[in-house]
Chains A and B, each alone.
Chain A
Amino acid sequence: MDILLSSTSQGLLWSIMAIGVYLNFRILNITDLTAEGSFPLGAAITATLIVNGIPPWIATLAALVSGMLAGVISAVLHTKLKIPSLISGIITMTGLYSINLRIMGKANVNLLGESTLMRTVESLGIKSNLSTLVVGGIVTSLVILVLKAFYSTETGLAIRSTGDNPSMSEANGINTDKMEIISYMLCNGLIAMAGGLIAQDNGFADISSGIGTIVIALASIVIGEVIFRHLTFAKRLMTIVIGSVLYRLMLSLVLELNVDPQDLKVFSAILLTVALASPLVKLPNKGKRKTPQVKKKGATTI
């Protein structure tokens, strides 16, 4: 029961990151590695501000804004300087490492005894083991509602069509560069906010906390996609939350087996591989013939 509760709580927080990654990964078809820099950036900003007495909710919003700025940098490198998206993400991520160190002044900022969003919720009379669940639940719901509304606006449609078919979008007068920049901002804003929230939950911000986060996010997305296929946008975001919770659950179960925590990243990598490859394995079971077309779809099916 404890495992279920803690996995759900943490899964909710991590799902905000996964939803952010989804916006670039699936909607724009871009694998944006800025994530591994914007995640600790959010953590660094939030932790530093909280230590300096800023209210936690402002510190969390500051993380969102800082992530958006990081997103703008990657987006401009990609769209204006025509650097391939994979490399522009790596460039920003690398640069952010130094910036994050500057922000924190050291490799690790402790939040023990400081006021965090979770503590604020506890002070309202909610049990301490439920506080993360409440914070995660509220923020995740807000994020999904806002994104659902945004992606059905004129601009939202333009972003989706840019990801789907850039030449058609340009032929319809869409400024595709601008749409990519907006998507990068949303994506990294959410990732940084998740970094800030998770730092508050963990009770510390760490310079190396970004390592491997993109794999965690991708695994959550793909687990959601493998279990539930062909869904509309808002439902898809919800399955990412489910995927994220399941991922945490699997992680906890692996830890229960007395696996050394330092081996967890291998587990993450294997899990992502299995999840990505699973559509290929599943098809013959459904009695479908293996046609090249079906095969090609594989992992990219949404």
Chain B
Amino acid sequence: MSPVLEMKNIHKSFEIGTVNENHVLKGIDLTIHEGDFITIIGGNGAGKSTLMNSIAGSFPVDQGKISLEGKDITNEPTMKRAKYIGRVFQDPRMGTASRLTIEENMAVAWKRGKKRGFGIGVKDEQRHSFQEALKRLDLGLENRMKMEIGLLSGGQRQAVTLLMASLVTPKLLLLDEHTAALDPKTSQMVLDLTKKIVEEEKLTTLMITHNMEQAIQYGNRLIMLNEGNIVVDIAGEEKQHLTIPDLLELFHKNSGTILNEDALILS
């Protein structure tokens, strides 16, 4: 069976030919297997978001090949890849259309990767399953489905975005620091929900986090990026027994530098 996602020798630079030229991804090789729940960690500018954006197709990569279940998607635009990929952004405002109601947003997600015709946008039977899905959040949103989503709090929006991303079961779920902009309590709520959805639906997931503890606690595989390269990639048993000091040492051994970013260590 072919892996869910395969990236081979991915390079990406920004502002090529200017003084600001920035070589962000320097030959990433990554294979994601079905059922993997990978946490990605790394300092600022390590290339975490760029890696995720190149998987989602936000920009073309300079070099390398990306294939999804054996199919070459390197040159497919975002809207084509959306058929297979569900996504939650860091900014809660990014994942939903603020002037659409909750149910309209969910109806948009319901059609992810499908043809949109001239049928009624929010059908009654959909409304019912949206309601069921919203009940799982336990935020009381199932009774406010006709409310503009822009009126919800960041945490609520992020929770709905997560539901939307999994409404049509994605082959790959991308979570780009999706709890970073939330307060600690809400952040925990969204993380718990993430765990619940990922486990129940057995989703193959890639989660960027800024928090070492989270990276260790969640998922079955951990990847650490440094200056555009993967420096740590551990899974299974080894990952389960991992501690923060272990991780720091692994990082030091593989990258030759000492991780000195306070935010990453302390948070």
Q: Which residues of A contact B (CB under 8 A)?
A: 150, 152-158, 160-161, 164-165, 167-176, 302
**Is B97 at the interface (CB under 8 A from chain A)?**
yes
Are the CB atoms of A154 and B119 closer together than 8 Å? yes
Q: A164 vs B104: C-alpha distance in the bound complex, in angstroms?
A: 12
Residue of chain A at shortest CB distance from B107: A157
Chain A residues whose C-beta falls within 8 Å of the C-beta of B98 in the assembled complex: 164-165
The verdict on A171 contacting B97 (CB below 8 Å), with A155-B117, A156-B121, A157-B108 known, is: no
The verdict on A154 contacting B111 (CB below 8 Å), with A164-B99, A165-B97, A173-B83 known, is: yes
Are the CB atoms of B119 and A168 closer together than 8 Å? no
Q: A49 vs B167: C-alpha distance in the bound complex, in angstroms?
A: 52
Q: Which of A153, A155, A171 contacts B78 (CB 8 A)?
A: A171
**Is B222 at the interface (CB under 8 A from chain A)?**
no
Chain B residues whose C-beta falls within 8 Å of the C-beta of A168 in the assembled complex: 89, 94-97
Are the CB atoms of A152 and B120 closer together than 8 Å? yes
Q: Which of A157, A158, A161, A171 contacts B56 (CB 8 A)?
A: A171
The verdict on A174 contacting B120 (CB below 8 Å), with A160-B99, A168-B94 known, is: no
**Is B185 at the interface (CB under 8 A from chain A)?**
no
The verdict on A158 contacting B78 (CB below 8 Å), with A152-B120, A171-B56, A174-B116 known, is: no
**Is B253 at the interface (CB under 8 A from chain A)?**
no
Q: A169 vs B121: C-alpha distance in the bound complex, in angstroms?
A: 15
The verdict on A165 contacting B94 (CB below 8 Å), with A154-B118, A154-B119 known, is: yes
A-B contact count (CB 8 A): 90
Q: How many residues of B contact A (CB 8 A)?
A: 36
**Is B195 at the interface (CB under 8 A from chain A)?**
no
Q: Which residues of B contact A (CB under 8 A)?
A: 56, 58, 77-80, 82-83, 85, 87, 89, 93-100, 104-105, 107-109, 111-114, 116-122, 164
Residue of chain A at shortest CB distance from B105: A161
Chain B residues whose C-beta falls within 8 Å of the C-beta of A176 in the assembled complex: 79
Chain A residues whose C-beta falls within 8 Å of the C-beta of B120 in the assembled complex: 152-154
Q: Which of B97, B112, B117 contacts A164 (CB 8 A)?
A: B97
Are the CB atoms of B99 and A153 closer together than 8 Å? no
Q: How far is the CB of A302 from chain B (nearest CB, A)?
A: 7
Are the CB atoms of B87 and A154 closer together than 8 Å? no
Are the CB atoms of B121 and A157 closer together than 8 Å? yes
Q: A68 vs B63: C-alpha distance in the bound complex, in angstroms?
A: 41
Most buried by B among A153, A164, A172: A172
Q: A172 vs B78: C-alpha distance in the bound complex, in angstroms?
A: 9
Chain A residues whose C-beta falls within 8 Å of the C-beta of B119 in the assembled complex: 153-154
Chain A residues whose C-beta falls within 8 Å of the C-beta of B78 in the assembled complex: 170-171
